[in-house]
Amino acid sequence: MKKNGSFMKTILFAAFLVTISAGAPSAVRSQETAASYPNMVSIDQYLITDRNAEIAMARSAAPPSISSDAEVLVLGRHGYETAIKGKNGFVCLVERSWMSPFDFAQFWNPKMRGPICFNPPAVHSILPLTFKRTELVLAGLSKGQIIEGIKTFDAKGLPPLDPGAMSFMMSPRGYLNDEAGHWVPHLMFYIPLTDSRSWGADLSGSPVMLNPQFNGAPEPITEFMVPVPTWSDGTAAPKEGR
């Protein structure tokens, strides 16, 4: 997989999701932050009006052997709501743009959709971060206020990170940002803050990529992505995005 600076700056996770390269020069990052989506728009633009369509998109994050028995959440005006009760401990949902790094230019992009399916350890210790960010966003807070709210939550309410926390992002239906489009199917792994080199992330020939979705800014978690060759429906995926 090609991993030059230009390509890495097109992917945002997630959900979710896929991001700007951690090594991007600060001047470039500053220019990108000033572009396109400076503010949150109406909540209606982030919602999916067809509830069944959102359920199907959420389930497409993982193979049916996992997602068919997973709990499914949909985004409402006051936060995520349970649409379907699960049986296997997994939880699938569609993350929105505010799960991006805070300095990402498309943090408020209403078109972004990040189908993601958390395994049970991630449901306990990562999903609460999605809930918290969403709660703060829907309260109408600024980015600075959201960051401070997360810091308080991290200090007082964030559960300890469970070993083995990971998620699936294998949906062909997602839209991760205006440059990356669907990008490629991948798995994500969450561990306490660590040196990314200990996983061989972003080194030549390594399939492991650092996702600075959290990475201490402000959540105390390091997140890695590993691309996989097929979408959740078993069809072959492209080697790089779009």
Residue 167 β-bridge partners: 118, 188
pLDDT at residue 240, rounded to an integer: 56
pLDDT at 21 over 50: no
**CA 156-158-161 angle, 5° bins:** 135
- Number of domains the chain is built from: 1
- Tell whether 171 is covered by a domain: yes
pLDDT at 106 over 80: yes
163 alpha-carbon distance from chain centroid: 19
What is the span of the domain harbouring residue 76?
5-227
Place of tokens 């969403």: 134
Residue 7 to residue 5: CA distance in whole angstroms: 6
pLDDT at 34 over 90: no
Q: What is the CB neighbour count within 10 angstroms for residue 174?
A: 27
pLDDT at residue 158, rounded to an integer: 84
Pair of tokens at residue 221:
């978690």
- Tell whether 198 is covered by a domain: yes
